[in-house]
């Protein structure tokens, strides 16, 4: 079962009145549902007759089913068509291997082109999905949008696979073998770990091919010298899903191993240990989404870091990198290559941080955060990410998970406990 009320200290919650007038709220909700409907795709895989249906992240740029994109889309779909939520997540389960593994991109009846075969994390050209993972959001999104994930054995099997194959030290934390497994791709936190093999750099293709030779097996890659990384936000998502499944909380281990008491932030760890500390990014704040995060830690994250107007508390908060960090950039691309998560603000990241603000009772701050995002969406539409100063839309258009804006526009009372509190 999920967290019980007595497992979470009583905390004040935010005022949940909508931030915009009724017509503005209605227009944004209409934009969200229309985007989800346009991005919807269903069919039958020809080779085995398996039916699928999912929300394309952005039809022109992202045609496949991406794992955590589908999880976020399902969360929003529940507000407009609950059957689509279930169907979306059941399509992930339909792609599941017998051992429980689900890849981070599922191709269904679409073949990869030559360039994609070179750079995608596949073991062979005919693979039905990648051999790599994404943040394991499925159980948590099922809890929010469908019901009890523990009642669906196939969901539990995915987390059993992660425990067997991605828990390097036996403490419950999971590890990634290349940056894009975190979903944060080119985040500068990985520069000190993967160096020239980081996502978007020329060496990344060599990293993909090296990991293919190891079958994306964590222990084999670690034995070969790595690098491998225990990334904060990935484990926050994993922890939320374990709580949704009624399994022991991962939060104490996250706090013990990834929290830097001296600076009051969470940091990734890696093997081999980097010569320099990884750059602090918004992921250092992502544990705010954990409903059982110790309150003292949460308040340090908010008051010492999130609300710092020179770093994270920009007009659209939080930027993916602190504004005063040398790696911070507002550019779309570098030398024509998009390197994501290096400055602009993403709505899924803001939503995770917002969950912590409302739980801890930062009413005004939670409202200011969502006001900025709502204004950007009203002006620019559902974009992949946004300039944290001006709100200019950037990246892909008609981006499905940015429909998470409705979670802040019209808050669900369950959000105050990250949807994990039971009556």
pLDDT one digit per residue (tens) for the chain, 423 residues: 333 322 333 333 333 333 345 557 899 999 999 999 999 999 999 999 999 999 999 998 899 999 999 999 999 999 999 999 999 999 999 999 999 999 999 999 988 888 888 889 999 988 999 999 999 999 999 999 999 999 999 999 999 999 999 999 999 999 999 999 999 999 999 999 999 999 989 999 999 999 999 999 999 999 999 999 999 999 999 999 999 999 999 999 999 999 999 999 999 999 999 999 999 999 999 999 999 999 999 999 999 999 999 999 999 999 999 999 999 999 877 666 778 999 999 999 999 999 999 999 999 999 999 999 999 999 999 999 999 999 999 999 999 999 999 999 999 999 999 999 743
| pLDDT value, residue 12 | 30
What region, left, alpha or beta, does residue 392 occupy, with left being phi > 0 and alpha being psi -120 to 50 degrees? beta
Q: Does domain 17-418 match CATH 1.50.10.10?
A: yes
| pLDDT value, residue 22 | 56
Q: Which element (helix H / strand E) includes 44? A: strand 40-44
Name the pairing type of β-strands 265-266 and 269-271: unpaired
Predicted TM-score (pTM) of this structure: 0.93
| pLDDT value, residue 18 | 35
The ranges assigned to domains in the chain are 17-418
| pLDDT value, residue 20 | 43
| pLDDT value, residue 247 | 98
Listed in sequence order, the residues at least 6 apart from 284 whose beta carbon sits closer than 8 Å to its beta carbon are 232, 265, 266, 267, 301, 305
Listed in sequence order, the residues at least 6 apart from 145 whose beta carbon sits closer than 8 Å to its beta carbon are 74, 75, 77, 78, 82, 85, 86, 89
Q: What is the CB neighbour count within 10 angstroms for residue 213?
A: 12
């Amino acid at each position: 079962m999920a967290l019980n009320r007595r497992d979470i200290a009583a905390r004040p919650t935010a005022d949940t009145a909508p931030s915009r007038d009724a017509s503005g709220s209605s227009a944004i909700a209409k934009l969200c549902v229309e985007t989800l409907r346009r991005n919807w795709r269903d069919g039958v895989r020809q080779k085995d007759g398996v039916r699928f249906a999912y929300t394309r992240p952005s039809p022109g740029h992202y045609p496949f089913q991406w794992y955590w994109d589908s999880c976020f889309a399902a969360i929003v779909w529940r507000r407009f068509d609950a059957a689509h939520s279930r169907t979306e997540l059941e399509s992930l389960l339909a792609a599941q291997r017998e051992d429980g593994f689900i890849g981070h991109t599922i191709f269904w009846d679409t073949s990869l082109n030559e360039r994609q075969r070179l750079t995608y994390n596949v073991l062979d050209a005919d693979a039905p999905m990648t051999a790599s993972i994404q943040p394991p959001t499925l159980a948590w999104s099922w809890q929010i949008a469908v019901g009890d994930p523990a009642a669906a054995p196939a969901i539990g099997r995915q987390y059993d696979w992660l425990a067997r194959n991605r828990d390097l030290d036996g403490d419950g934390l999971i590890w990634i073998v290349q940056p894009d497994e975190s979903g944060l791709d080119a985040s500068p936190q990985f520069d000190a770990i993967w160096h020239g093999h980081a996502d978007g750099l020329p060496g990344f293709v060599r990293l993909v091919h090296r990991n293919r030779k190891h079958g994306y097996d964590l222990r084999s890659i670690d034995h070969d010298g790595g690098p491998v990384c225990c990334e904060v936000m990935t484990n926050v998502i994993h922890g939320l899903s374990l709580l949704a499944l009624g399994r022991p909380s991962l939060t104490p281990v996250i706090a013990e191993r990834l929290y830097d008491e001296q600076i009051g932030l969470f940091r990734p760890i890696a093997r081999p240990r980097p010569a320099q500390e990884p750059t602090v990014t918004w992921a250092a704040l992502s544990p705010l989404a954990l409903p059982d995060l110790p309150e003292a830690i949460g308040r340090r994250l908010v008051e010492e870091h999130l609300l710092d107007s020179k770093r994270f508390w920009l007009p659209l908060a939080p930027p993916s990198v602190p504004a005063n960090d040398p790696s911070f950039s507002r550019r779309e691309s570098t030398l024509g290559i998009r390197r994501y998560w290096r400055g602009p603000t993403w709505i899924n990241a803001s939503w995770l941080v917002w969950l912590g603000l409302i739980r801890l009772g930062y009413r005004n701050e939670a409202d200011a955060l969502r006001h900025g995002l709502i204004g950007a969406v009203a002006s620019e539409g559902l974009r992949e990410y946004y300039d944290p100063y001006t709100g200019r839309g950037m990246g892909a258009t008609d981006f499905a998970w940015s429909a998470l804006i409705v979670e802040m526009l019209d808050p669900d009372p369950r959000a105050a406990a990250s949807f994990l509190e039971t009556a």
